[in-house]
């Protein structure tokens, strides 16, 4: 298969390959942060704090509606990485065709569902009356970009599974430039407020999707990627659903939890909502490496499982989460120390700045624990073991995070409910460490030991015998 951007995770130094794979994703994450960060910067400087709060509270309804499909997209990426490791190009071609058709089947009903149900979710989240109309306007326009959003994320997952993490960077860069230019045009110059920011984001989403289609068709002709829908392969669709549906359901349950969390935030008023919106952008800057290392972990484990290299699986399962935690810890502490001047770029409202600074000081120093947790989860998912991570994610959110947020808001101080995040991060990391004590991982260790013994025996057999 052509495409010189691919990284083979089955050979060579583990962390060198992981960093080469993760670096473009990390840069891409910065560009993705620019999508929402530019919206926040432009709205924060050219609109009111109410508009800022409206944009900040509108992310959860989109997440709730699209989360199951995005989980299935991750399942496609996992299967691609496994087929890449085993060299099964025929199955990969059928997988890509089925996944491409699945986008069209799902996008139209999801768009309609989002437009109709988005306002209901906002009402459930107790969105303040002064932020209601701009939030609904933002939501309905964003959902018009469902096809572009789903299409790009599916194609990016396919490319990551192939080991090609660089290509997504280029179409993200182009779409980000589109977003920035249109943000300035629609909001700053034409005064379209949050509707202009939403429209700019939608057009940028479709730009990303189109660029990814053109790239795959040119660089990977063996995949026979079709722009138009095809007939779906039943067996491949079953495999996609088997791996991706638990991830999607996990995302769904998690998103509903986010809605409940946002309702607790909204109950504190527009100023607190705006502060959380601004602070989340700054914490996103500090956490840019988390998803990069995690994506690398998924591709690494999938490819090496496909090639049956259990020795590398054993090494990667420990090494990759360790470095993800170290990098995130260093960056998180730096951003925490300089948070006040960084926050000043987003808003000049003193009350918003004070609350946002509290958020960062409480959350960021502990996000390295989430980096380790998420990296182990993605590594385990890459092996197709999705049940254990799903259970831990549910427990982390519904048993730890939401109850602790409620208790903090009820009995301590609502301005500190964000402390529920580090509490849940530490819990999740501890539970994922426990995965290394399960029968599944012990079986990997056993296979790695057997493989190591075979390699040692083969090396002895290859050595020339000495004669006296």
CA 427 to CA 435: how far, in whole Å?
13
The predicted structure's pLDDT at residue 431? 94
**Burial of 165 (C-beta count, 10 Å sphere; 0-12/13-18/19+):** buried
61, 122 contact by CB (below 8 A): yes
From residue 89, alpha-carbon distances to 82, 220, 368, 414 in Å are 11, 11, 38, 54
Q: How many CA atoms lie within 13 A of 66 on its CB side?
A: 26
Q: Is the entire prediction scored with pTM above 0.75?
A: no
Show the tokens assigned to 9.
């995770």
68, 270 contact by CB (below 8 A): no
CA 328 to CA 153: how far, in whole Å?
24
pLDDT tens readout for residues 104-154: 888 888 888 888 877 887 777 777 677 778 888 888 888 888 888 888 888
Instruction: Work out the number of other CB atoms within 10 angstroms of the CB of residue 245.
Output: 16
The predicted structure's pLDDT at residue 59? 67
Q: Is 193 left (phi over 0), alpha (psi -120 to 50) or beta?
A: left
CA 406 to CA 398: how far, in whole Å?
11
How large is the greatest C-alpha to C-alpha distance in the chain, in angstroms?
Answer: 94
3, 92 contact by CB (below 8 A): no
The predicted structure's pLDDT at residue 468? 42
> Can you list the residues of the chain whose pLDDT is less than 70?
1-5, 32-39, 47-49, 52-53, 56-60, 64, 128, 254, 258, 461-468
Q: Give the DSSP per-residue string, 175-221.
A: HHHHHHHHHIIIIIIT--HHHHHHHHHHHHHHHHHHHHHHHHHHH-G
The predicted structure's pLDDT at residue 426? 95
Q: How far apart are the first and last CA of the chain?
A: 51
Q: What is the CA radius of gyration of the chain?
A: 23
The predicted structure's pLDDT at residue 123? 78
């Amino acid at each position: 298969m052509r495409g010189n951007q691919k990284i083979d995770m089955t050979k060579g130094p583990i962390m060198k390959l992981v960093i080469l794979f993760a670096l473009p994703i990390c840069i891409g994450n910065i560009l993705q942060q620019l999508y929402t960060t530019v919206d926040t910067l432009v709205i924060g400087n050219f609109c009111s704090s109410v508009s800022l709060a409206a944009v900040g509270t509108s992310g959860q309804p989109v997440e709730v509606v699209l989360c199951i499909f995005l989980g299935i997209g991750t399942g496609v990426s996992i299967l691609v990485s496994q087929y890449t490791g085993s060299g099964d190009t025929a199955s990969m071609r059928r997988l890509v065709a089925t996944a491409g058709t699945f986008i069209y089947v799902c996008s139209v009903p999801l768009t309609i569902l989002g437009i109709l149900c988005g306002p209901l979710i906002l009402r459930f989240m107790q969105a303040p009356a002064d932020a209601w109309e701009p939030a609904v306007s933002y939501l309905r326009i964003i959902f018009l970009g469902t096809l572009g959003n789903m299409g790009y994320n599916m194609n990016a997952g396919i490319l990551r599974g192939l080991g090609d993490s660089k290509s997504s960077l280029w179409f993200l860069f182009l779409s980000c430039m589109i977003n920035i230019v249109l943000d300035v045009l629609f909001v700053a110059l034409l005064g379209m407020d949050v509707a202009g920011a939403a429209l700019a984001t939608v057009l940028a989403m479709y730009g990303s999707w189109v660029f990814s289609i053109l790239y795959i068709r040119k660089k990977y002709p063996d995949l026979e990627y079709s722009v138009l829908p095809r007939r779906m392969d039943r067996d491949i669709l079953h495999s996609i659903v088997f791996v991706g549906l638990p991830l999607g359901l996990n995302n769904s349950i998690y998103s509903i939890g986010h809605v409940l969390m946002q309702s607790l935030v909204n109950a504190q008023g527009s100023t607190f909502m705006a502060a959380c919106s601004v602070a989340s952008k700054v914490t996103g800057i500090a956490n840019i490496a988390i998803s990069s290392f995690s994506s690398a972990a998924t591709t690494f484990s999938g490819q090496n499982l496909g090639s049956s290299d259990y020795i590398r699986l054993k090494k990667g399962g420990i090494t990759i989460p360790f470095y993800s935690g170290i990098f995130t810890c260093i960056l998180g502490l730096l951003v925490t120390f300089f948070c006040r001047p960084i926050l000043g770029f987003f808003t000049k409202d003193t009350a918003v700045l004070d609350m946002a600074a509290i958020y960062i000081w409480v959350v960021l120093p502990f996000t390295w624990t989430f980096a380790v947790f998420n990296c182990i989860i993605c590594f385990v998912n890459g092996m197709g073991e999705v049940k254990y991570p799903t259970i831990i994610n549910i427990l982390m959110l519904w048993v730890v995070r939401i109850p602790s947020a409620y208790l903090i808001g009820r009995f301590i101080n609502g301005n500190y409910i964000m402390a529920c995040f580090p509490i849940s991060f530490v819990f999740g990391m501890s539970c994922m460490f426990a995965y290394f004590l399960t029968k599944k991982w012990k079986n990997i260790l056993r296979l790695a030991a057997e493989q190591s013994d075979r390699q040692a025996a083969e090396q002895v057999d290859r050595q020339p015998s000495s004669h006296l």
